[in-house]
Amino acid sequence: MRKGDGLARDTFVPPGFVWGAATASYQIEGAVHEDGRGESIWDRFAHTPGRVANADTGDIACDHYHRYRADIALMSQLGLDAYRFSVAWPRVVPTGAGPVNAAGLDFYDRLTDELRAAGIAPHITLYHWDLPQVLEDRGGWANRETADAFAAYADVVARRLGDRAAAIATLNEPWCSAHLGYRLGIHAPGRTDAAAAYASAHHLLMAHGLAVPAIRAAAPGTPIGIVLNLEPKRPASPHPLDLEAAGIAHDQYNRWFLDPVMGLGYPADGRRDAGWTGAEVRPRDMEVIAAPIDFVGINYYTSRTIRSPLLPPLHPIASPEVTALGWEVDPGGLTEILEFVASRTGSLPLYVTENGAAYAEDPLDPTRDPERTGYLQRHVAAALTAIEHGVPLRGYFAWSLIDNFEWAEGYRPRFGLIAVDFETQERRIRDSGRYWASLAAGPTRAR
Ligand code: IFM
């Protein structure tokens, strides 16, 4: 019997449901100087003193560039249906806009073919934060021309890999690119300029909107989408000011990218509150951004409690359950977010493109991870609840396949279903990986 066939919907996933795991290029590949790869903003940022914890860099990371075959063998051991990875723009077009680096593209070609040979569907993300540094030197995402360069790069990748990709996502978490990178300065390129951040957010959406028809033309029939990081913004109290603050936070975080992509424009209240003039928006931009897509990917980790800045701080009596990064564990928030997205996307297929948690490693045995396993079990149950409520969820990717470079936090936070010893590059499947394998082996009884 195939996965889910003819089984009760309240305990099993629907037929064809995809169980996968996700990674991203700069977080795992290493080999930053090999085969003509250009510099990315993360190379520059990580090598700038004080930017990344422990002065960690992605220079070697998981050395996946050289070990991808062994990593695919591990995916096979887990029985994954799908693997979500990202393509490094500076590997494929080292100058950002211009000549294609054949050796860089060849790597992803081999990766795609090997995955398919192992029966694992390649879900490709075109941009997971490693902008070519040369484009940043010309203004980065705050410069509208970066959107055109992205569409040209998307065309190159789609022409080469599109026929074998199970799905292509344009951007991963554009909120993070714009706001962590250009407003809060805690991610590359490390700028602290709110106007540049809002301009970047618009140009990221333009990049998405321009890339969609380019990918569609190059790879007809390949599903195209975007991946957004979303989380419930919960008012800290029933006070009207907290309700208002939570509503604005919801608009600025959860609706800012989703609504324009779905043809609903920028959320008016969030926009007013941000003080953003929208001067970057040219006639027809919103039409470009609303190019029809085939799926939306949702990255879910946590929810946030929002306190109005006009009210005194609240001191909660009970401490919430948190992960090693201090992120509150809130499985119900995943059901809520999936239902919120479906309220805007209707029957469009949805995927959980990332979900997972960082916990301190067991010093005696890195493969023992009861907290991560429990976190995933509860979130899978929450996703099944959303399915029961009618959300068209088609797949679920754990973050992450393996421990990796967690951006400004370096290598300390561990998210992997597979533990990595960064001294030896030895990989070991964790208990959470075995749990994930049991789901992929389905039919799935998640609770
Ligand atoms: O590691 C990141 C990933 O690159 C994007 N989404 C969140 C993950 C955990 O922080």
351-384 per-position pLDDT tens digit: 999 999 999 999 999 999 999 999 999 999 999 9
Among 9-23, 78-92, 310-324, name the most confident range. Answer: 78-92
pLDDT at 344 over 80: yes
Among the listed residues 29, 39, 173, 371, the single catalytic one is 173
354 C-beta closer than 6 A to ligand 1: yes
354: annotated active-site residue: yes
Which of 230, 353, 406, 420 to mutate to test ligand 1, by most ligand atoms within 8 A of the CB atom?
406
Q: What is the pLDDT of residue 5?
A: 37
Residue nearest to atom 1 of ligand 1 (CA): 406
Average pLDDT rounded to a whole number, residues 243-268 = 97
Structural element, H or E, at residue 427: strand 426-429
pLDDT at 10 over 70: no
| 102, two tokens | 């054949």
pLDDT at 434 over 50: yes
Average pLDDT rounded to a whole number, residues 140-160 = 98
Q: What is the pLDDT of residue 272?
A: 83
Q: Do you find a cis peptide bond into 319, omega within 30 degrees of 0?
A: no
- Burial-class residue 160 by CB neighbours within 10 Å (0-12, 13-18, 19+): buried
| 422, two tokens | 């960064």
Average pLDDT rounded to a whole number, residues 217-221 = 97
Q: What is the pLDDT of residue 443?
A: 64
pLDDT at 7 over 90: no
Please list, residue by residue across 62-91, b when 16 or more beta carbons sit within 10 angstroms of its beta carbon and e when fewer do.
bbbbebbeebbebbeebbbbbbbbbbbbbb
C-alpha of residue 282 to centroid of ligand 1, in Å:
32
242 C-beta closer than 6 A to ligand 1: no
CA-406 nearest atom, ligand 1: 1
Average pLDDT rounded to a whole number, residues 305-322 = 92
Q: pLDDT tens digits, residue range 190-218?
A: 999 999 999 999 999 999 999 999 999 99
pLDDT at 445 over 60: no
361: annotated active-site residue: no
CA-358 nearest atom, ligand 1: 9
Return phi, psi of residue 139, to 5°: 115, -10
402 C-beta closer than 6 A to ligand 1: no
- pLDDT, averaged across the chain: 95
Query: What's the CA gap between 55 and 72, in Å, rounded?
Result: 29
136 C-beta closer than 6 A to ligand 1: no
Average pLDDT rounded to a whole number, residues 28-39 = 98
125 C-beta closer than 6 A to ligand 1: no
Query: What's the CA gap between 274 and 195, in Å, rounded?
Result: 10
411 C-beta closer than 6 A to ligand 1: no
Structural element, H or E, at residue 169: strand 167-172
Q: What is the pLDDT of residue 14?
A: 87
Taking CA atoms, 92 is separated from 37, 44, 142, 160, 431, in Å, by 7, 18, 22, 11, 36
Q: What is the pLDDT of residue 286?
A: 98
Q: What is the pLDDT of residue 444?
A: 54
CA-415 nearest atom, ligand 1: 9
**Is residue 395 helix, strand or coil?**
strand
Average pLDDT rounded to a whole number, residues 1-14 = 46
Which of 23, 399, 404 to mutate to test ligand 1, by most ligand atoms within 8 A of the CB atom?
399
Among the listed residues 29, 39, 231, 354, the single catalytic one is 354
406 C-beta closer than 6 A to ligand 1: yes
pLDDT confidence tier of residue 296, bands split at 50, 70 and 90: very high
Query: What's the CA gap between 318 and 315, in Å, rounded?
Result: 9
DSSP, res 361: P
Domain segments of the chain as ranges: 9-440
Least confident piece of the model among 92-96, 133-137, 286-290, 314-318: 314-318
Query: What's the CA gap between 135 and 116, in Å, rounded?
Result: 33
24 C-beta closer than 6 A to ligand 1: yes
Which of 23, 173, 325 to mutate to test ligand 1, by most ligand atoms within 8 A of the CB atom?
173
399 C-beta closer than 6 A to ligand 1: yes
In the block, residue with structure tokens 């990218």? 257
Q: Do you find a cis peptide bond into 189, omega within 30 degrees of 0?
A: yes
Q: What is the pLDDT of residue 213?
A: 98
Average pLDDT rounded to a whole number, residues 130-135 = 98
pLDDT confidence tier of residue 447, bands split at 50, 70 and 90: very low
Average pLDDT rounded to a whole number, residues 401-426 = 98
pLDDT at 3 over 80: no
Q: Which CATH architecture has domain 9-440?
A: Alpha-Beta Barrel (3.20)
Structural element, H or E, at residue 426: strand 426-429
